[in-house]
């Protein structure tokens, strides 16, 4: 008999549509995937070389549980340079990916029944990770007219005596929205007043388009900094998803707890990947800008194309690499006599009849939507959108 914990977990929906698309591909079918949750670029060469060098030098043993000192120093330098934040190396915990960092945070903070507020739409793993750590996810709907960002009044209404933390994800996966300084100030003042931790997932901070800028909520003052745990990592910025390097910056007490937890459940982040991440953070950042520009061109193309399609609407993403598209208007229509009805059915029909894979919004807490990733080539984007358009034209 499995644990209650194990039985209540739902597998990641972003990974399951991807699996279906990959299966069709392996059967030789020409599928165009908008499901990707990772950059389609190769890891930059100088980063790979640092890893090869680490292997050749025999840097292949256990490291300190919370990561090697030189990488912690490089992360502190990053926070100072990019976010105007001063942290000491003891406040940094390096993990096997930002996902692992999030698990460490929840494990260090939550007692059974503690509530964590999640603004919806949200990244699929937050509720599951909270439940695995005996917490209760409290999902708070945001409004389209607020560009799907949490406002102070909504946050205040969601607070209870059991509220331990709030998750902020800016730039957001799936909506691509970015919180402004004023919006963050409002949230920070409520958090400070109520002594609520902020778990600030900033993994997309370097993928920002147009005139938007990333502000870390921790940089708004000493009081909010103490309550904030920043989660970041190498995956999205440096096209390093498979290497598994994430990190946190937090108060010393939390950092110490997370390091101790990690010393038992993971020993340490991968030694070779730590050397690669060091090269990523200390080397030239031109590769990041190059990838960002490519994403931006694709984003612009997709927004323009989709704005001319029937039934669909989307708000312009300012960051990350997803378009979150409202497809609700198709649900009352029929495709070759079959009622579309909902997002899951829509995704199935599209995959089966037009060989286009996208991720239905249910797993993000937004069932009328679908997430289309632009972490795929311009040729794929063009062909995929043409197929989507042909599908929509068949609806009646
Ligand atoms: C991809 C992603 C992560 C996890 O990144 P890893 O470092 O690869 O574990 C965390 N949060 C969000 C919002 C993401 O999209």
Distance 98 CA to ligand 1 centre (A): 5
What's the pLDDT at 13? 63
Q: In the Cβ-directed half-sphere of 383, how many Cα atoms lie within 13 Å? A: 13
Å from CA of 391 to ligand 1 middle: 31
Do strands 136-141 and 115-120 pair parallel, antiparallel, or not at all (unpaired)? parallel
Best of 35, 96, 99 to mutate for ligand 1, by most ligand atoms within 8 A of CB? 99
Domain count, the chain: 2
Residue 229 in any domain: the answer is: yes
Are 339 and 265 part of one and the same domain?
A: no
How confident is the model at residue 94, as a pLDDT? 98
Let me know whether 272 and 330 are in one domain.
Answer: no
Model-level pTM? 0.96
What is the per-residue pLDDT for 15? 66
Residues 199 and 271 reside in one and the same domain: yes
Report pLDDT for 1. Answer: 86
Q: Is residue 56 part of a domain?
A: no
Question: What is the domain extent for residue 254?
Answer: 61-282
CA–centroid distance, 248 to ligand 1, in Å, is: 13
Q: What is the 3-state secondary structure (H, E, C) of 83-139?
A: HCCCCCHHHEEEECCHHHHHHHHHHHHCCCCCEEEEEECCCCHHHHHHHHCCCEEEE
> What SS3 state is found at 167?
strand
- List ligand 1's pocket residues with C-beta within 6 A: 37, 97-99, 123, 169, 173, 201, 203, 233, 235-236, 241, 246
Cα-to-centroid distance, 284 and ligand 1 (Å): 23
Nearest CA to ligand 1 atom 15: 173
| Start-to-end C-alpha separation, the chain | 48
pLDDT the model gives residue 83 = 98
CATH number for the domain spanning 366: value is 3.90.1150.10
Give the Cα separation of 32 and 350 in Å (integer): 10
Low-confidence ranges of the chain (pLDDT < 70): 12-15
**Which atom in ligand 1 lies closest to the alpha carbon of residue 245?**
7
Q: Tell me the best of 101, 122, 171, 173 to mutate to test the pocket of ligand 1, counting ligand atoms within 8 Å of each CB and taking the most.
A: 173
């Amino acid at each position: 008999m499995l644990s209650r914990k194990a039985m209540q977990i739902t597998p990641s929906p972003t990974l399951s549509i991807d699996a279906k698309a990959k299966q069709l591909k392996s059967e030789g079918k020409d599928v165009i995937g908008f499901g990707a949750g990772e950059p389609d670029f190769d890891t930059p060469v100088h980063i790979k070389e640092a890893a090869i060098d680490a292997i050749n030098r025999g840097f292949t043993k256990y490291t300190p549980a919370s990561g090697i000192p030189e990488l912690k120093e490089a992360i502190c330098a990053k926070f100072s340079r990019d976010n105007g934040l001063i942290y000491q190396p003891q406040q940094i915990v390096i993990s096997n990916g930002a996902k692992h960092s999030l698990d460490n945070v929840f494990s260090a903070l939550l007692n059974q029944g503690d509530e964590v507020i999640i603004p919806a739409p949200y990244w699929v793993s937050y509720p599951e990770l909270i439940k695995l750590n005996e917490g209760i996810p409290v999902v708070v709907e945001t409004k389209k007219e607020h560009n799907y960002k949490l406002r102070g009044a909504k946050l205040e209404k969601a607070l209870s005596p059991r509220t331990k933390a709030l998750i902020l994800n800016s730039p957001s996966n799936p909506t691509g929205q970015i919180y402004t300084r004023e919006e963050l100030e409002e949230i920070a003042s409520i958090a400070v007043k109520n002594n609520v931790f902020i778990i600030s997932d900033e993994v997309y901070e370097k993928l920002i388009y147009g005139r938007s800028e990333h502000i870390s909520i921790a940089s708004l003052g000493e009081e909010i900094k103490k309550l904030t745990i920043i989660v970041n990592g190498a995956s999205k910025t440096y096209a390093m998803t498979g290497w598994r390097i994430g990190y946190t910056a937090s108060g010393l007490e939390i950092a110490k707890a997370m390091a101790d937890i990690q010393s038992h459940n993971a020993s340490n982040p991968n030694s070779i990947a730590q050397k690669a991440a060091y090269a990523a953070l200390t080397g030239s950042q031109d590769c990041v800008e190059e990838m960002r520009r490519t994403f931006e061109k694709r984003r612009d193309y997709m927004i323009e194309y989709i704005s001319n399609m029937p039934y669909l609407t989307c708000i312009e993403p300012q960051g990350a690499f997803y378009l979150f598209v409202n497809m609700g208007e198709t649900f009352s229509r029929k495709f070759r006599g079959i009622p579309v009805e909902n997002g899951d059915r829509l995704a199935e029909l599209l995959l089966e009849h037009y060989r286009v894979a996208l991720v239905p919004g249910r797993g993000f807490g937004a069932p009328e939507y679908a997430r289309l990733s632009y972490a795929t080539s311009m040729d794929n984007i063009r062909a995929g959108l043409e197929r989507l358009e042909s599908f929509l034209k068949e609806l009646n």
